[in-house]
Amino acid sequence: MLRQLSTRHIGEVRIVIDLTSMSRPQSVAVVGASPKPGKIGHTILGNVISSGYKGKIFPINPKEKEIAGYKTYTAVSEVPEPVDLAVIAVPAARVLDVVRDCGQAGVKSLVVITAGFKEVGAQGLEMEKQLVESCRKYGMRLLGPNVVGIIDTHTPINASFSATFPQQGEIAFLSQSGAMLVAILDWSASIGIGFSKVVSLGNKADLSEIEFIEDAAADPHTKVILCYIEDIVDGPRFLDVASRASRKKPVIVIKSGTSQAGAKAASSHTGALAGSDLAYDVAFRQCGILRARTMTELFDLAVAFAKAPVPKGNRVAIVTNSGGPGIIATDNVEAKGLQMASFDKATIEELRANLPAEANIYNPVDVLGDAKADRYKFALQKVCADPNVDSVVVLMCPVGVTEPIETTEALLEMRQSFPEKPIFAAYMGGETLAGGAAMLAKAGVPCFTFPEPAIASISGLVRYNEVLDVPKGNGNQDLANIDRKGVKAIFYDVIKDNRLVLLGSEATEIAKCYGIPAAPVVLATSPDEAAAEADKMGYPVVLKVASPKILHKTDVGGVHIGLNTAEEVRHAFVEIMENVHGYMPQAVIYGVEVQKMMPKGTELIIGMTRDIQFGPLIAFGLGGIYVNLIKDVSFRLARGLTAREIEHMLRETKAYTLLRGYRGEKPRDIEALADTIRRVAELVNDFPEISEMDINPVFAYENGLSALDIKITIS
């Protein structure tokens, strides 16, 4: 394993990684520092100096005695004082020697700027492995290789070759793309966004977003954490760290690229339903990460969190001086799952008494095109004070009488008076409103040109409220009636039989071991045996061909239902054998499964597909043969699945409406369903060898459930 753990558990003690020597070093060596402008080593040294770094600076260059007025050393080991951080910018072929020298000199942390490692192929990968091994040997932590560097505006230090040193701020930005990072820094300077930390993650050979999320979560200067990532190397650890971090401060992630799972797993319904990117979506949501879909959204949200309070609820008020934008904003509020606030009676009366008769006094409040600052101020004051309003969006279009500066002053006054309610603005114009917009930017009030991003940002703030709302602990009781040994024994037999797909009877046994209610199934190898089993079970029964090679049994004439006598069973046995031999002469047939025919219930699916990063994903939805067509399915990670998450999972589906009793039907046993989902999650967590599982259909009744068809594949 290349990666060291940032957080180790020793008994009950949690040791959290200390990145002080990386972002707040006492001393820095720049290896490859150069007196020549245009060289990366020149820029890095210049950046460290010009950032106002207060610690000691040691340029390292074998040919120079002094660079930029600093005594220069031929190697880090020649520096007569301790070095916390070495920033390395020498050609790839020399990096390993330099790292060894740093190790021998007792350097604590390294930033390897140099490119040409695993990103260039096998030779580079080998070099990267040696680089990590060397860091391990000397106990050094490594950022990189292939990075722009690291910036901390509060230390301050700019140990990077970025052309821009950002303003001080409260946003920590971690980026797997160096190009994206420098572009954002340049852009941020032009619009006044500030950062607490900026980290280029590069090849993530040692430290990754995981350690830096943990570090930023503990950093008092950071209010919100932003990540641009392309992959995650250690899913479970990421989830663990992100879950804790997101409860402290918002973690917003934009993830490019798609996961490698999903597509390959299309042999099960669940696998086919889980799109390639779904696992990330589910994992992020479950650990409280807010996922941004675009870079614009990422930064809009960042600014919102850095500058605005998190509202108490999702009720939005809009104050506008024109009807059209008010309607667009209203549509958007609904599209984003927010609610248009219904004003208090007193608010409506006040607005009615004081605004012109043509004004709309209900939400969205239209103060009309001729509104000057005083009318805006009055409306805003009333709306902000309304207890049914959680956040406010102010829209302004420039007409001849609009007073952008005075209106902005009124808005800023409201912000002072109602610090607990976010007030966002969309100034829909250019030059005329620029002065007002600049005032807002200076005062840290998010201001947009159009309403949609303002409302998207409020929606992000509200989503975070839900993250904070998650109770501590998982609320789960220990499950009773779990027989792990029984499952192991069945797997043992299956593997001995050289199979990966379980027979229905075996899968049903496994379900029983975990208390998953399933219709009884017995394997019979002759017509008489089938008839005898059916006699024992009680009629009616169903017969299904037992063959691991046949996934869709109905398609090959391998299923007979509603058999009421021993004679019918014998007959059906023979017919199934003939059908299957006709369709699939090569298929190995183990016999025929006799299953108790269950009364019809609401048809559901519970399934599992395994994601390469995050492990098993549990699916729940409407079942039956149209499952892939209807796609009424919700997903959750099995890992740490809580009772609360299961409840949310159920509620997300249309099936839930059916289960609660649709059009006079009796409600179904939702409690038994939630318990079964938990049991399936427990089973697949306990047995990583289960690669896929589908229970389709599960019949849900007024009392209890019954799994009718269980498919389990192991690897």
Nearer to ligand COA, 67 or 516 (CB): 67
* Residues that bind ligand COA in the complex, under the rule CB under 6 A: 31-32, 34, 36, 39-41, 60-63, 89-92, 94, 98, 113-116, 146-148, 178
The Cα–Cα gap between 148 and 182 comes to 8
Nearer to ligand COA, 36 or 600 (CB): 36
Q: How far is the CB of 42 from ligand COA (least distance, A)?
A: 7
Nearer to ligand COA, 65 or 552 (CB): 65
Nearer to ligand COA, 39 or 651 (CB): 39
Q: How far is the CB of 112 from ligand COA (least distance, A)?
A: 9
Q: How far is the CB of 164 from ligand COA (least distance, A)?
A: 15
DSSP assignment of 497-517 equals TT-SBPPHHHHHHHHHHTT--
The residues, ordered by sequence, that sit 6+ positions from 487 with a Cβ below 8 Å of its Cβ are 510, 513, 514, 683, 686, 687
What separation in angstroms does the CA of 433 have from each of 216, 441, 448, 449? 36, 12, 11, 10
Question: Angle at Cα 693 formed by Cα 689 and Cα 696, nearest 5°?
Answer: 165
* DSSP H or E run through 235: helix 235-248
> Which of 546, 469, 467 lies closest to 503, judged by CA?
546
Q: How far is the CB of 170 from ligand COA (least distance, A)?
A: 25
Can you give 684-713 as a three-state secondary structure string? HHHCCCEEEEEEEEEEECCCCEEECCEEEE
Euclidean distance between the first and final Cα of the chain, in Å?
22
The Cα–Cα gap between 174 and 647 comes to 33
Token pair for 645: 């998450």
Q: How far is the CB of 92 from ligand COA (least distance, A)?
A: 6
Residue 647, number of CB atoms within 10 A of its CB = 15
* DSSP H or E run through 630: helix 627-630
The Cα–Cα gap between 661 and 621 comes to 16
Name the residue number minimizing CB distance to ligand COA.
Answer: 178
Q: How far is the CB of 45 from ligand COA (least distance, A)?
A: 10
- Sheet strands side by side (includes 591-596): 521-524, 591-596, 541-546, 559-563
Q: Quick one: residue 690, left, alpha or beta (phi over 0 = left, psi -120 to 50 = alpha)?
A: beta
| Bond prior to 156 in cis (omega within 30° of 0) | yes
Nearer to ligand COA, 67 or 650 (CB): 67
Nearer to ligand COA, 44 or 242 (CB): 44
Q: How far is the CB of 208 from ligand COA (least distance, A)?
A: 15
| Bond prior to 540 in cis (omega within 30° of 0) | yes
Distance of CA 447 to the CA centre of its chain: 27
Is residue 546 within 8 A of residue 591, CB to CB? The reply is yes
Nearer to ligand COA, 113 or 174 (CB): 113
What separation in angstroms does the CA of 640 have from each of 243, 643, 693? 11, 10, 18
Q: How far is the CB of 501 from ligand COA (least distance, A)?
A: 46
Q: How far is the CB of 635 from ligand COA (least distance, A)?
A: 34
| Bond prior to 364 in cis (omega within 30° of 0) | yes
The residues, ordered by sequence, that sit 6+ positions from 107 with a Cβ below 8 Å of its Cβ are 29, 76, 83, 84, 85, 86, 138, 140
Is residue 360 within 8 A of residue 383, CB to CB? The reply is no
Q: How far is the CB of 63 from ligand COA (least distance, A)?
A: 6
Q: How far is the CB of 24 from ligand COA (least distance, A)?
A: 23
Q: How far is the CB of 123 from ligand COA (least distance, A)?
A: 15
Q: How far is the CB of 550 from ligand COA (least distance, A)?
A: 52
| Bond prior to 697 in cis (omega within 30° of 0) | yes
* DSSP H or E run through 280: helix 278-286
Is residue 300 within 8 A of residue 377, CB to CB? The reply is no
Q: How far is the CB of 559 from ligand COA (least distance, A)?
A: 58
| Bond prior to 585 in cis (omega within 30° of 0) | no
Positive or negative: CA dihedral 262, 268, 270, 275: positive
Q: How far is the CB of 82 from ligand COA (least distance, A)?
A: 19
Nearer to ligand COA, 40 or 507 (CB): 40
Helix axes 178-191, 295-307, angle to 10 degrees: 50
The Cα–Cα gap between 320 and 356 comes to 14
Q: How far is the CB of 89 from ligand COA (least distance, A)?
A: 4
Q: How far is the CB of 251 from ligand COA (least distance, A)?
A: 23
* DSSP H or E run through 88: strand 85-88
Is residue 338 within 8 A of residue 316, CB to CB? The reply is yes
567 burial via Cβ count (<10 Å: 0-12, 13-18, 19+): exposed
